């Protein structure tokens, strides 16, 4: 079972080659376009193919069977709706896919560079800066450029954006526009494929660090169970340190699952809008609901810093203003949502912030979250507060 990250949303068409799911997909057969996500979806005979498009090129990025498709897709009038973690992706029906989507993919360095720059121009949340056109023109590679020269050209246009959530994956390596300093974690046992660290300080203080907020197992449901079990185990002690200083990716589902252990009532954490060539479009809201068994009654400190990015910031926003919770460290990155990931024709990919995130009163969460206590050694500060 494959759950592909396409267009910045979990396009949860479950691609299961061994079980096509033709009958389940029948109501949704046809060709569909999402303007907001720059995505085409073609469903026919129990198979689905996903395309990403920009003004530069359109090409297929995923295909497979459609078992489970009815769990995430629904029809609303003439539109197709895909819902995932509070986000709604709306698709309009088309008679045919555009011809350019069916043409052979052009993956030479110039074409790949043009897809990258067009994608950033059309969907980067802040819009490109005044120097962008000149950088693009000066950096465009030669048609026969090698991978090293192409990477250098891409870095030249992306680096001035200066954000830790602008990333380029190429040949097994990842370049980051402005990587935060590496976090030094305390000695702790590692589990969940390296995605979580846990430990304790004395008898009464538990410690749990998330290096990401997803993918602790191959199956999303099992991954959530592992995260929930880790948090529940930590909450058996009087006080809890939640370390998000190095958490730079993940899913909203995982973040709100953790938050559900602390909130006393249902709450809307944020409203989401996605940037596309026509402006911004609302795509849903992030909500969290408490567990029926009640909320954690102990003291909580949340450690944050520049490496607290995206979904981890939504988690801080969900619980940071609750009674008994103290946020300690340095301001967060200011991304506050899952980033958009787009594939490039040569097999590389680019990730960048695409979502505008606002609180319930309409305040945009763009400048990062400022901790209650500023500290260069937040773990020591937390232990002083908790008495660990």
Q: How many residues are present in the chain?
A: 388
CATH number belonging to the domain at 189-386, selected among 3.90.226.10, 3.30.429.10, 3.60.110.10, 2.60.40.420: 3.90.226.10
| pLDDT the model gives residue 248 | 85
| pLDDT the model gives residue 193 | 54
Range 206-221 burial, b when 16+ CB lie within 10 A, else e: bbbbbbbbbbbbeebe
**pLDDT digit of tens for each residue in the chain (388 aa)?**
223 333 444 343 334 333 455 677 888 999 999 999 999 999 998 889 999 999 999 999 998 887 778 888 999 999 999 887 667 889 999 999 999 999 999 999 999 999 999 999 999 999 999 999 999 999 999 999 999 999 999 999 999 988 888 999 997 788 988 878 888 888 766 554 568 898 899 889 999 999 989 888 888 888 899 999 999 999 999 999 999 999 988 889 999 999 999 999 999 999 999 999 999 999 889 999 999 988 999 999 999 999 999 899 999 999 999 999 999 999 998 876 778 999 999 999 999 999 999 887 778 887 889 999 999 999 999 999 998 6
CA distance 357 to 115: 26
Phi/psi at 320 (nearest 5 deg)?
-65, -30
| pLDDT the model gives residue 191 | 53
Where does the chain hold its CATH 3.90.226.10 domain(s)?
189-386
Residues 6+ apart with CB under 8 A from 337: 270, 272, 310, 311, 313, 314, 353, 354, 355, 357
| pLDDT the model gives residue 335 | 79
| pLDDT the model gives residue 86 | 64
3-state DSSP of the chain: CECCEECCEECCCCECCCCCCHHHHHHHCEEEEECCCCEEEEEECCEEEEEEECCCCEEEEEEEECCCHHHCEEEECCEEEEEECCEEEEEEEECCCCHHHHCCCCCCHHHHHHHHHHHHHHHCCCCCCCCHHHHHHHHCCCCCCCHHHHHHHHHHHHHHHCCCCCEEEECCEEEECCCCCCCCCCCCEEECCCCEEEEEECCCEEEEEECCECCCCCCHHHHHHHHHHHHHHHCCCCEEEEECCCCCCECHHHHHHHHCCCCCCCEEEEEEEEEECCEEEEEEEEEECCCCCCCCCCEEEEEECCCCCCHHHHHHHHHCCCCCEEEEECCCCCCCCCCEEEECCCCCEEEECCEEEECCCCCECCCCCCCCEECCCHHHHHHHHHCC
pLDDT in tens, 147-166: 999 999 999 999 998 888 89
| pLDDT the model gives residue 239 | 96
| pLDDT the model gives residue 19 | 47
Where does the chain hold its CATH 2.40.128 domain(s)?
5-102
CATH number belonging to the domain at 5-102, selected among 2.40.128, 1.10.10, 1.10.405, 2.60.120: 2.40.128
- Whether residue 7 contacts residue 37, with contact meaning beta carbons closer than 8 Å, is answered with yes
């Amino acid at each position: 079972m494959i759950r592909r990250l396409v267009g910045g949303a979990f396009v949860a068409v479950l691609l299961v080659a061994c079980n096509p799911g033709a009958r389940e997909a029948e109501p949704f057969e046809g060709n569909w376009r999402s303007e907001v996500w720059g995505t085409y979806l073609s469903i026919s005979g129990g198979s689905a193919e996903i395309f990403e498009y920009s003004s530069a090129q359109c090409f297929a990025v995923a295909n497979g069977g459609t078992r489970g498709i009815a769990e995430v897709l629904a029809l609303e009038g003439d539109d197709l709706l895909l819902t995932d973690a509070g986000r709604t992706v709306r698709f309009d029906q088309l008679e045919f896919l555009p011809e350019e989507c069916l043409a052979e993919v052009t993956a030479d360095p110039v074409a790949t560079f043009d897809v990258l720059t067009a994608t950033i121009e059309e969907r980067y949340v802040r819009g490109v800066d005044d120097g962008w056109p000149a950088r693009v023109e000066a950096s465009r590679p030669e048609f026969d450029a090698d991978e090293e020269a192409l990477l250098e050209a891409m870095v030249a246009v992306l680096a001035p954006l200066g954000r830790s959530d602008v990333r380029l994956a190429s040949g097994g390596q990842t370049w980051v526009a402005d990587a935060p300093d590496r976090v030094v974690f305390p000695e702790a046992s590692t589990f969940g494929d390296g995605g979580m660290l846990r430990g304790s300080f004395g008898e009464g203080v538990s410690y749990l660090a998330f290096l990401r907020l997803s993918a602790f197992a191959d199956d999303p449901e099992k991954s959530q169970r592992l995260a929930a079990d880790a948090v529940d185990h930590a909450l058996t002690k009087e006080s809890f340190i939640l370390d998000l200083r190095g958490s730079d990716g993940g899913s909203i589902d995982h973040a709100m699952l953790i938050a559900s252990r602390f909130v006393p009532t249902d709450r809307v954490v944020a409203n989401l809008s996605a940037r596309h060539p026509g402006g911004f479009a609302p795509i849903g809201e992030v909500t969290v609901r408490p567990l029926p068994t009640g909320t954690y009654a102990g003291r909580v400190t949340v450690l944050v810093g520049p490496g607290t990015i995206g979904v981890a910031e939504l988690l801080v926003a969900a619980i940071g203003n609750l009674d008994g919770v103290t946020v300690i460290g340095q301001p967060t990155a200011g991304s506050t949502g899952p980033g958009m990931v787009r594939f490039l024709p040569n097999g590389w990919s680019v990730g960048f912030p695409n979502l505008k995130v606002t609180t319930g009163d309409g305040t945009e969460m763009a400048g990062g979250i400022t901790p209650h206590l500023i500290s260069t050694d937040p773990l020591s500060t937390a232990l002083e507060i908790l008495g660990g």
